[in-house]
Amino acid sequence: MNILQRLVRQREFVIFMIVLAVVVAMSFASPIFLTEGNILALLLSLSIQSMMAVGMVNLMIGGGFDMSVGSILGFTGIIVAMIMKAGVPVPLAVLIGLLVGVAIGLWNGMVVAKLKINPFVTTLASLSIFRGLTFALTSGRNIAELPKAFKAIGQTRIAGVQLPIIYALVLVVVGDIVMRNSRFFRQNYYIGGNEKAARLSGINVDGMTIFNYVLTGVLAAFAGIVFTARMGAASCQAGTGWELGVITAVILGGASLRGGSGSVFGSFLGVLLMALISTSLTLLNVDVYWQQFVVGVVLITAVLIDTLGSARSGGAQVKKQITGGKAA
């Protein structure tokens, strides 16, 4: 197999080329596309989803799935805002917010790993429960006028770059390194690839699964805190439907619903591509309603390239191997 074929089979490469193509095309199509302001706006718009994607891809590599990240984001924002209004100091409120994410992740993880309930059903229930709680606690009202120190978490700029972008980039870089190279995170590839084999290799599958949900939960909570700080107010609607965007990006980036594959870098490219599409269409004055349509087309195209590619090389190989047996 030559290098080109090998690269094409890496989903990251396919997405990277698409991203590059969009960037090149847009830099010709729109004079403001490559300006610093536009690039920063683009990065800021994808920072929240990137943080959630880091947790999601780790979970999906390990064969899990979480529909509740959008609700965790919204719920955490409201809780943090409410307790600050009640006089809790900012650092403590942030800590409690993160613990809310840990607790919801722990709940999701325990139900999936110990009670063996399907992850989709479990987290779909959590999606509903915590969005419902968010509305019930606030009677549907937003909470504004938050402390200055809190807003600084999401609005400070360092060398002109907003903090949420920096959080996201740090998480993506660190996440990619540890998921590629650390023995601890590598366990997920075994669990998602062949759970039985993972158990036989002495991997604590249940423990790791619970950890994955906790990590997803705490990153979603962190995203919720940053988002609320950036907006300066907590909204009951925050994060509604975002789980689908995050999952789409992670799959675009090479993860599979069956587990065992995916990377943080790929997922980031997935998030980037989706943000690019939406920015580009806006700059091109295309009706906002077309954005979802385009994202769907890109998703199915990327997956088809992958599947057809492996059907031609890998698929035939597998079939040959199934026909194995003792030779005459």
Binding site for another protein (CB under 8 A): 177-178, 181-184, 186-187, 189-190, 193-194, 196-203, 260-261, 314, 317-318, 320-328
The nearest distance, CB 190 to another protein, in angstroms, is: 5
For 23-26, which contacts have Cβ atoms below 8 Å and span 24 or more sequence positions?
23/276, 26/276, 26/279, 26/280, 26/283
The nearest distance, CB 62 to another protein, in angstroms, is: 12
- Three state DSSP letters for 101-120: HHHHHHHHHHHHHCCCCCHH
Rounded Cα gap, residues 205 and 74, in angstroms: 30
Helix (H/G/I), strand (E/B), else coil: 32: coil
Give CA separation, 251 vs 57, 70, 209, in Å: 8, 17, 19
The nearest distance, CB 245 to another protein, in angstroms, is: 25
**In contact, 75 and 224? CB cutoff 8 Å:** yes
The nearest distance, CB 209 to another protein, in angstroms, is: 15
The nearest distance, CB 203 to another protein, in angstroms, is: 5
The nearest distance, CB 199 to another protein, in angstroms, is: 7
**In contact, 126 and 67? CB cutoff 8 Å:** yes
Between 30 and 194, CB nearer to another protein: 194
**In contact, 26 and 280? CB cutoff 8 Å:** yes
The nearest distance, CB 262 to another protein, in angstroms, is: 10
Between 140 and 314, CB nearer to another protein: 314
Between 206 and 240, CB nearer to another protein: 206
Rounded Cα gap, residues 73 and 246, in angstroms: 12
C-beta neighbour count of 210 within 10 angstroms: 22
Between 6 and 141, CB nearer to another protein: 6
Q: Which residues contact 179 (CB under 8 A, 6 or more apart)?
A: 57, 58, 61, 185, 186, 188, 263, 264
Between 38 and 310, CB nearer to another protein: 310
Between 205 and 272, CB nearer to another protein: 205
Between 167 and 189, CB nearer to another protein: 189
